[in-house]
Structure 1
Amino acid sequence: MDRIKEKMNQLRLEAEESASKVEELQNKVKTLEQENLQKEQEIISLTHKNNVLEAEVDKLEAQVKELKAAASEGQQHGTQNETLTRRLQLLEEEAEEADRTLREANEKLRQTDVKAGHFERKVQALEQERDQWEAKYEEMARKYAAVQKELEDFQNEINTI
């Protein structure tokens, strides 16, 4: 009788530990899902910024072409040519800066994609672990029910004696 009580207590403790582990894993999954959502939002933001920068680069490249054409037409006017050359240089620097910013944004986007993939794998691993714990919990619940039935049968036999 003491062994059965001890075994029942042990099964209860294991069931409680399993339940707390499942709850802990569910909290981890929620946290990872929130982080994943944040990363997705950051990806969307960076993609939008990337599109804006690409449009700005196109616009700046068009301006550079226009300024180069104006500079070649305005060679006869020395001071006007100097002004246009300075303006062209500034626009090229802005284009280079925009290009550098675009490369940085693309790199950040790539890193975010890598991180998102990493977190997706983590979530999958945690989901598998959670499924294993749930299966273990169900198995323990079945064992508990079987032990409970054995205990009831044993009590019934004792009562009949």
Structure 2
Amino acid sequence: MADRIREKLNQLRLEADESAAKVEELKAKVKALEQENLAKEQEITSLSHKNGLLESENEKLDTTIKDLKKTADEGLQHGTHNETLQRRLQLLEEEAEEADKTLRETNEKLRQTDVKAGHFERKVQALENERDQWEGKYEEMAKKHRDLQKELEELQNEIGNI
């Protein structure tokens, strides 16, 4: 009977050790996900800042295009000057289109990053829930271990009194 108790205690110790190892592993995973989430948040901030700069640049370019178009209309009598302005206008429009394309790409990256951030937040929450379950199991096993230890001591006392 004492062998069975020892065997049961050894089993409980092994389960407790395995639970502790699993808790540590889950804590490491949570930490890694939190760091990854922080990196994604920093990337979102960076992309948001870049997005703001591109929008500002795009507004400047739009204003410049409007000004150049107005100047071109007023300068019809100046043929060569008008051609120069038209070329400049075309370059600015291409730059504006490129800036607009970059803005759309940045917005898409920002959207994808938001989706990923949401995914990782859900993943972190799931891992935290799993960790909480493992901690609960660990505490339950620790309580069982203490109870069995107490029973063993009582049994040893009874055997000693016999």
TM-score using structure 1 length: 1.00
Question: Matches of residues 22-41 of structure 1 in structure 2 within 5 Å?
Answer: 22-41=23-42
Q: CA RMSD in A?
A: 0.3
Matches within 5 A, 1:39-78: 39-78=40-79
**Which amino acid is the alignment partner of residue 51 of structure 2?**
N
Which stretches of structure 1, 4 residues or longer, exceed 4 Å deviation after superposition? Answer: none
Alignment of 1:1-161 (within 5 A): 1-161=2-162
Q: Aligned equivalents of 1:143 and 1:67: distance in 2?
A: 82
1:118 Cα deviation from its structure 2 partner: 0.2
Q: Report deviation, 1:30.
A: 0.6
Cα deviation, residue 66, structure 1: 0.1
Residue 86 of structure 1: how far off its partner (Å): 0.4
The one-letter code matched in structure 2 to 1:47 is: S
Separation in structure 1 between the aligned mates of residue 147 and residue 8 of structure 2, nearest angstrom = 12
Q: 1-side partners of 2:42 and 2:117: how far apart?
A: 11
SS in 2 for 1:76: coil
* Letter paired with 1:127: E
Separation in structure 1 between the aligned mates of residue 79 and residue 127 of structure 2, nearest angstrom: 70
- Structure-2-length-normalised TM-score: 0.99
Flag structure 1 segments of 5+ consecutive residues without an equivalent.
none
Shift of 1:107: 0.2
Unmatched 5+ residue regions in structure 2? none
**Sequence identity (%):** 75
AA matched with 1:136:
K
- Distance in 2 (CA, whole Å) between partners of 1:148 and 1:118 is 44
Partners of 2:145 and 2:61 lie apart in 1 by 73
Q: What is the deviation of 1:57? A: 0.3
The AA in structure 2 aligned to 1:13 is: L
SS for the counterpart of 1:75 is coil
